[in-house]
């Protein structure tokens, strides 16, 4: 079990959406939280709001700090790590949540499109693991590293193929890292948060897209699905699910069990394919 109360946590993409929900849930459970985000104005506002809020007992929440970060830049993520260690002297929980989710058919995507979305969604996680895992392993109490994946970490969907590639990638990273840490006898645990539909501003991802990486990917307002029987969740609820997984050291943390049938169909198709091919004798 990972203790949250009294621990130091960092959340990338923490100024809004799921990241903000995770930060709020960590504070509810008694952690000190470093909120990291690429948008300075949103970051400043989030930190001010979290500092002025009150916990369930009426007392001020645990310490909140803010740090700007561009997760696609390794040096920026390393600077975030240094900020956390200098400010608090330790790090116990790392939530790599920053991400973008534009839409575009694979045949239409440019190299710039791929560089942008891979840079944020996949390289951002790689940079986070490289920067923070040694610090977590150096922590005598161990720690927890959580990555925000998606329902798309398990099921590919048309028009968001590039997003799915990144989320499949982070799922593979988390699963492999979990196995390696277990082999090493590490006290660091990992988990994959797999959100379904959560009310966030990911539909305006391009607001932070560098001009040099403009391409065919476009923002899409998926909130139109709210009238099509799709179950939506608030960021704070998603954050509480994320923190529960951290506390229980659970590898997978899906937010919407009603999405399981689609995952099951994919896994069943793979199982059936394996059953069709007998053991071939090598020639």
Q: Coil, helix or strand for 100?
A: coil
Query: Catalytic: 163?
Result: yes
**Cα–Cα–Cα angle for 162, 220, 106, nearest 5°?**
25
Report the alpha-carbon distance of residue 161 to residue 260 in Å, rounded: 20
Report the alpha-carbon distance of residue 29 to residue 244 in Å, rounded: 10
Q: Tokens 């960590």 appear where?
A: 26
Concatenating the DSSP letter of every residue in 189-222 gives: EEEEEE--EE--SGGGGGGG--GGG--S-B---G
| Element housing 145 (H / E) | strand 143-148
264 CB-side CA count, 13 A = 5
Catalytic residue among 163, 168, 274, 277: 163
Question: Do residues 273 and 213 lie in contact, with contact meaning Cβ atoms separated by under 8 Å?
Answer: no
Residues facing residue 34 across a β-bridge: 10, 65
Report the alpha-carbon distance of residue 156 to residue 243 in Å, rounded: 26
Question: Do residues 1 and 26 lie in contact, with contact meaning Cβ atoms separated by under 8 Å?
Answer: no
The per-residue b/e assignment along 92-131, b for 16 or more CB within 10 angstroms, e otherwise, is: bbbbbbbbbbbbbeeeebeebbbbbbbbbbbbbbbbbbeb
Catalytic residues: 163
């Amino acid at each position: 079990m990972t203790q949250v109360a009294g621990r130091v946590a960092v959340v990338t993409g923490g100024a809004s959406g799921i990241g903000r929900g995770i930060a709020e849930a960590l504070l509810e459970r008694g952690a000190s939280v470093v909120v990291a985000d690429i948008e300075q104005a949103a970051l400043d506002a989030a930190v001010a709001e979290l500092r002025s809020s009150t916990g369930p007992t009426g007392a001020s929440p645990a310490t909140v700090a803010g740090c700007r970060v561009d997760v696609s830049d390794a040096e920026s993520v390393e600077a975030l790590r240094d900020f956390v260690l200098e400010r608090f002297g330790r790090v116990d929980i790392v939530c790599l949540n920053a991400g973008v989710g534009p839409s575009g058919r694979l045949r239409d995507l440019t190299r710039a499109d791929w560089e942008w979305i891979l840079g944020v969604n996949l390289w951002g996680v790689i940079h986070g693991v490289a920067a923070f895992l040694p610090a977590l392993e150096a922590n005598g109490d161990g720690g927890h590293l959580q990555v925000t994946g998606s329902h798309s970490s398990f099921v590919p969907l048309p028009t968001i193929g590039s997003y799915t590639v990144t989320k499949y990638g982070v799922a593979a990273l988390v699963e492999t890292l979990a196995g390696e840490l277990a082999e090493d006898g590490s006290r660091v645990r990992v988990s994959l948060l797999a959100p379904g539909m959560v009310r966030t501003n990911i539909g305006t991802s391009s607001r932070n897209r560098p001009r040099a990486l403009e391409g065919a990917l476009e923002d899409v307002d998926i909130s139109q699905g709210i009238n099509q029987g799709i179950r939506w969740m608030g960021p704070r609820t998603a954050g509480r699910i994320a923190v529960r997984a951290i506390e229980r050291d659970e590898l997978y943390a899906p937010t919407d069990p009603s999405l399981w049938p689609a995952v099951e169909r994919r896994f069943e198709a793979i199982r059936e394919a394996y059953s069709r091919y007998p053991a071939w004798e090598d020639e």
